[in-house]
Amino acid sequence: MVLQRFSWPYGGRHASFCGSFTGWTEYPMALVGTEFQVVFDLPPGVYQYRFLVDGAWRCDESKPFMRDEYGLISNEVLVENNAQPVVQPEPSPIRGINMDEGTILTTMPPEPSSQNPGMQIAVFRHGISGILLHNTIYDVVPLSSKLAILDTQLPVKQAFKIMHDEGLALVPLWDDHQGTITGMLTASDFVLMLRKLQRNIRALGNEELEMHPISAWKEAKLQFYGGPDGAAMQRRPLIHVKDSDNLVDVALSIMRNEISSVPIFKSLPDSSGMPLLNLATLQGILKFLCLKLQEQPEGYSLLHNQLLNIPIGTWSPHTGRTSNRLLRTLRLSSPLNSCLDLLLQDRVSSIPIIDDNGSLRDVYSLSDIMALAKNDVYARIELEQVTVQNALDVQYQVQGRRQCHTCLQTSTLLEVLEKLCIPGVRRVVVIEQSTRFVEGIISLRDIFTFLLG
């Protein structure tokens, strides 16, 4: 056995280490003077390793490197009986005494099995992290695309009609007075507006909507939908990302703020005066990621694993699987208001709709509410008397019947990713094949929660 030191001398606040001999499990490095170090007791041989510095995977360009068996760029070291120390951590190490002012001394554990599922997931995430960290959201944005932007002085009624006609669930808002993008108009706004009309809160007639601007609606919403103590909702700054941000940061911004899309602002202003470049979505990032995975399919065997072997998604208790969220379903006869309550309170984008036998019939999404904007349907109905079946019928009349994207627990992760790359698909419902009972749901947010660990 040979004591081998690995070091990262290029700065950072936190550094971890992983390598082929650790099963790519991460281990913390100790700061010794101005560099991070860790020591392992290794048998002679050739090993690959990488550093995780402040959340970013890195290699030491001054040391030998190669593309490892998983298609990743890693440093490489030859450990000989007369070797000097270099860099790496490992799985379940046995800690010994401290040496060299705090360098961690570890003893090499048994070689992990290549079939270990935890190791396979760690390797998969390691590769995904490398792709997402080394590409920016600018790489994802299409070279040419149509982007709708509404002026805050546009009447609310006209704005929602445009959103329906263009098939938009959300749209950026331009404030001419401030000369910039100041917010987003979403399907949630439409739901809240409907409720305001139905409940006659400071009665706003349908005629007034012809003149009521978006900016006034946004201000009214802060007052009407405050907390239980009567306090108004707090206005928060516009959440946005820069076109130079890496894909991990953009995905985390969307997930942590529980939004479906985030505006991308240009890093450098141009002559147009428009700071907005485009909108970033989890689906856009996933499509880009899948293209990268197709270039190196040999390094990602986890893609061919069945869902029943992967900790991902939201599941019904009868499956015996645990999940962080409660799986919600509603019947066709359920009041639409109940459906909207769940969508807003649970901050989810859709709910599976089942029949009286418990079989999947469709999925009702928050964006489906926009169908009520066509021909002012919302002005001629009593929202409290509308069922989910009624709402779906309106949706079918406006846009026709649609495919409900499903999969099985025996479907592979790759099959699910391919479905989620289809335009407009934001979740896949897991069903039992013969009965179509709902067993779970896998959303884009579930996918990125799993990918980013």
Q: What's the confidence (pLDDT) of residue 98?
A: 32
Per-residue pLDDT tens digits for 234-274: 567 889 999 999 999 999 999 999 999 999 999 887 767 78
| CA distances, 214 to each of 37, 184, 279 (Å) | 57, 10, 20
Amino acid at 203: A
List of residues 6+ apart from 298 with CB closer than 8 A = 71
Alpha-carbon gap, residue 445 to 260, rounded angstroms: 9
- pLDDT above 60 (res 228): no
Alpha-carbon Rg for the chain, nearest whole angstrom, is 26
CA angle 11, 14, 16 (to 5 degrees): 105
Per-residue pLDDT tens digits for 25-75: 888 898 888 899 998 888 888 888 999 998 888 888 888 888 755 566 788
117 vs 374 pLDDT, higher one? 374
pLDDT cut 70: percent of the chain above it: 83
Per-residue pLDDT tens digits for 79-107: 887 644 444 333 333 333 232 333 333 33
Per-residue pLDDT tens digits for 385-432: 889 999 999 888 877 788 899 999 999 999 999 999 999 899 999 999
Q: What's the confidence (pLDDT) of residue 225?
A: 59
- Kindly state the greatest CA–CA separation across the chain: 87
Alpha-carbon gap, residue 143 to 166, rounded angstroms: 21
